[in-house]
Amino acid sequence: MSNKHVARKIPTFSKEQIERMFAVCDLTTREGQRNYTIILLLLETGIRVSELCNLHIGDIQAAALHVVGKGNQEHHIEITPAVSEQLMLYMSHYHGSTMNGALYVFVDSDDQPLTPGDVSHIVSNIKKRAGVTGVGFSVHTFRHTFASLRHTLRHKD
């Protein structure tokens, strides 16, 4: 009996698909700014959707995010100046939510913290409006895309 390893292609977004998703976010609205910032953070940091939903205002520094991940493990994740600038722009229009005494970064129209299901629904709608097809999709696809981009950049050095 042979033990063949079958490589499975992990779905990722192409540069064109990413650009189209950014393009459908209406940056003149609070919701559009929020959605653009969500996509940017997922792509640029590789954080999990649950980590994104649990981000508090106090977790954001100029060049890093403080993230509590799986198993309550705490991580400091560096962010680029472009990501920091977009976060600050979004939060300058932020009204906040005070659930459990903490201000959540990403909230819905009723100022309630987004859930992973909410983010999945938001991103699914963005993908449809952008006409992104041919990618096995979940919010986790952003994490795969982040890892793929980092892997590619590391091997170009």
Question: pLDDT value at position 148?
Answer: 79
The backbone torsions φ and ψ at residue 140, rounded to the nearest 5 degrees and listed phi first, read -65, -20
Least confident among 15-24, 53-62, 125-134, 141-150: 141-150
The tens digit of pLDDT for each residue in 52-111 reads 999 998 898 889 999 988 888 898 999 999 999 999 888 887 655 555 555 889 988 888
Q: Is pLDDT at 8 greater than 70 in this prediction?
A: no
Average pLDDT over residues 7-18: 80
What percent of the chain has pLDDT above 70? Answer: 80
Question: pLDDT value at position 111?
Answer: 82
Average pLDDT over residues 10-17: 86
Average pLDDT over residues 8-14: 78
**All domains in the chain, ordered by first residue:** 15-148 (1.10.443.10)
